[in-house]
Amino acid sequence: RGIQISGAHTFGSVVRAYGFLKDLEGAWEAWSEMRARRIVPTSITMGCMVEALVSNGDVEAGLRLIHELAADEKTKPLLNAIVYCSVLKGFCHLKRFDRVWSVSKEMKELNLKFS
């Protein structure tokens, strides 16, 4: 949208801003541009995108994104409990306790500690 961005941290801020504005299309555009430029997201950038999805009601999309990132050898080591906890919080708000338990089990299998 006319802004030149070159780093993962700045992309994270842009994604977070779009999420706050409830503009998921803008958040996805920024995320897709970052990935198209082969900029590896930081754990914070990942958290910003997952939180944008979850806070705008698409908790399943947040979990799908986590799974995509876990399948990529460059981003897998950057996933942490904070990113997963955004999804847990979203499922709790939806009273989807079956999903809370399945995600917490997944975290335990990955040896991620709750924070």
- Residue 53, classed as helix, strand or coil, is helix
Q: How far is CA 23 from CA 29, 69, 73, 76, 79, in A?
A: 10, 22, 29, 27, 24
The domain locations on the chain are 8-109
Using CA atoms, how far apart are residues 35 and 16, in angstroms rounded to an integer?
16
- Beta carbons of 39 and 4 less than 8 angstroms apart: no
Give the global pTM.
Answer: 0.92
Q: What is the pLDDT of residue 3?
A: 66
pLDDT in tens, 41-98: 999 999 999 999 999 999 999 999 999 999 999 999 999 999 999 999 999 999 999 9
